[in-house]
């Protein structure tokens, strides 16, 4: 019997996922454990592995489709095997019932209930093959054409009428530009010609292609949604300090010569923040509206730059781990993040986040607080700077750190004390051995 492939449920808060791309095609032989496709959740792009061996008989959902968890999206089995009927997606949960208001004393006084207006029905765009071919040959966008065919279908005469109405025959355009516009799906009627007598030339088409609006990736949409929510709902303030990293830099250089596990500046910062969070547990909290919760566990997210956005793998119980353990785990998580191999439990549940742009040469910046945390630390680069040390101007390695704090549960003094504790740990790293 054919084995169904479903949208996996990868977390308690995950209700749906978007198919990014299929890594196998219909008819391909797959083995148990092979990567079948990539899906986009509200956290990251993840690979979905096959739970069966056989032939990928049928793909039921294509790239770009957003589907509920547990929805069947493909079947794996033996060639020629009859496929079972595809179960329908479960309906969305019913809206919560509301209390019924007290009825008026008489029927005459009762208000007449007004039915909610039905949402407008959006028809799927359809076009006949001949009309589609003509539109492509002329290099125009058929979705702009008024349809007169059956069921709102664009037919050939609609395209001809559109061309006549827009004065297409009088349009000055080079044959090369027309062919290129057709290949790139650019409507020539939207172009402005820069050639002689306003003629549309190849350069005009290429400029239109470069300036064409492009949709946000699913990752960028999710990041935008979360950041807008955070910026709208969290009243934040910033605290910045300069940290003298000279002693730590020397210690790091020595440790990296002695140990096989290479330690980064960020590993020291994770451990220093874990120490400070233990001393200031309120920074490890989350605001819940009119209440807040202090998290007992210290799980530190480390923001990682991936192909089309950011993801923050989590160092769990960072206060209980040694520097070497943090370095090893962090390196593995970063590698998995860049290769889209993270499991949901490896990027969910952070109670505090560190965003480090020092490797990009950024001296200082501010980071937006994740919606389920109270603070985030932005870390700049370690630079050689002239400072006064022991009463004398000297060159020291200085790094700026900025804490964004949720003002609903944190005040300036608490955030400043927390940041100073991080600074103290970094400037005197004797704890690191």
**35 within 8 A of 111, measured Cβ to Cβ:** no
pLDDT in tens, 273-316: 999 999 999 999 999 988 999 999 999 999 988 776 678 899 99
pLDDT given for residue 353 in this prediction: 96
- Beta strands per DSSP E along 199-249: 236-244
pLDDT of residue 298: 97
Cβ neighbors of 47 (< 8 A, separation 6 or more) are 23, 35, 36, 37, 38, 340, 341
Q: Given a cut of 70, is residue 409 above it in pLDDT?
A: yes
Q: How far is CA 255 from CA 103, 250, 258, 396, in A?
A: 78, 9, 5, 20
- Of 252 and 120, the structure prediction assigns the larger pLDDT to 252
Q: Residues 7-37: pLDDT tens digits?
A: 887 765 667 888 888 999 999 999 988 889 9
Pick the CATH number of 3-77 from 2.40.50.100, 3.40.630.30, 2.30.22.10, 2.60.40.4070: 2.40.50.100
Q: Count the neighbouring beta carbons within 10 Å of the beta carbon of residue 257.
A: 7
Query: Cβ(421)–Cβ(239) under 8 Å?
Result: no
Tell me what pLDDT residue 101 has: 41
Which CATH number applies to 126-211: 1.10.1760.20, 3.40.50.2300, 4.10.320.10, 3.30.1600.10?
A: 4.10.320.10
- The one catalytic residue among 407, 414, 416, 420: 407
Confidence class of residue 345 from pLDDT cuts 50, 70 and 90? confident
Averaged over 68-91, what is the pLDDT?
A: 79
Q: How confident is the model at residue 379 (pLDDT cuts 50, 70, 90)?
A: very high
The neighbouring-strand residues paired with 287 are 292
Question: What residue segments make up the domains of the chain, in order of their start?
Answer: 3-77, 126-211, 218-432
Active site residue 407: yes
CATH code for the domain defined by 218-432: 3.30.559.10
The set of long-range contacts for 122-125, using a CB threshold of 8 Å and a minimum separation of 24, is 123/151, 123/152, 125/154
């Amino acid at each position: 019997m054919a084995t169904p492939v479903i949208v996996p449920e990868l977390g308690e808060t995950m209700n749906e996922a978007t198919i990014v791309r299929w890594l196998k095609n219909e008819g391909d032989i797959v083995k148990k454990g092979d990567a079948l496709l990539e899906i986009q959740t509200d956290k990251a792009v993840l690979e979905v592995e096959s739970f069966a061996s056989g032939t990928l008989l049928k793909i039921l959902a294509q790239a770009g489709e957003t589907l509920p968890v547990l929805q069947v999206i493909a079947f794996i089995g033996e060639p020629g095997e009859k496929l079972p009927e595809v179960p329908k997606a479960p309906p969305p949960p019913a809206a919560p019932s509301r209390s019924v208001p007290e009825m008026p004393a008489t029927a005459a006084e009762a208000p007449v209930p007004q039915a909610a207006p039905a949402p407008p029905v959006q028809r799927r765009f359809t076009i006949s093959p001949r009309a589609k071919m003509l539109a492509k040959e002329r290099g125009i966008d058929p979705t702009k054409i008024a349809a007169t065919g059956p069921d709102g279908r664009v037919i050939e005469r609609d395209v001809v009428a559109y061309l006549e109405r827009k004065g297409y025959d009088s349009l000055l355009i080079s044959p090369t530009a027309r062919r290129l516009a057709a290949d790139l799906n650019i409507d020539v009627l939207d172009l402005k010609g820069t050639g002689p007598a306003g003629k549309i030339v190849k350069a005009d088409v290429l400029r239109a292609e470069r300036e064409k609006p492009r949709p946000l990736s699913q990752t960028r949409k999710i990041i935008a949604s979360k950041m807008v929510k955070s910026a709208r709902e969290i009243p934040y303030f910033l605290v910045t300090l300069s940290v003298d990293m000279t002693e730590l830099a020397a210690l790091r250089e020595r440790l990296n010569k002695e140990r096989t596990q290479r330690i980064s500046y960020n590993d020291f910062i994770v451990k220093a923040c874990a120490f400070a969070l233990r001393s200031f547990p309120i920074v490890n909290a989350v605001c819940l509206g009119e209440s807040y919760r202090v998290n007992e566990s210290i799980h530190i997210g480390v923001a990682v730059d991936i192909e089309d956005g950011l993801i923050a793998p989590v160092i769990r119980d960072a206060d209980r781990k040694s520097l070497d353990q943090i370095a090893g785990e962090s390196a593995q998580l970063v590698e998995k993040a860049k290769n889209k191999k993270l499991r949901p439990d490896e990027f969910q549940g952070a109670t505090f986040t560190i965003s480090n742009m020092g490797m990009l040469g950024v001296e200082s910046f501010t980071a937006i607080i994740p919606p389920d945390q109270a603070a985030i630390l932005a870390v700049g680069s370690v630079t050689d700077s002239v400072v006064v040390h022991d009463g004398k101007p000297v060159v020291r390695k200085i790094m700026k750190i900025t804490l964004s704090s949720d003002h609903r549960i944190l005040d300036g003094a608490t955030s400043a004390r927390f940041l100073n504790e991080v600074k103290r740990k970094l400037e005197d790293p004797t704890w690191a051995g």
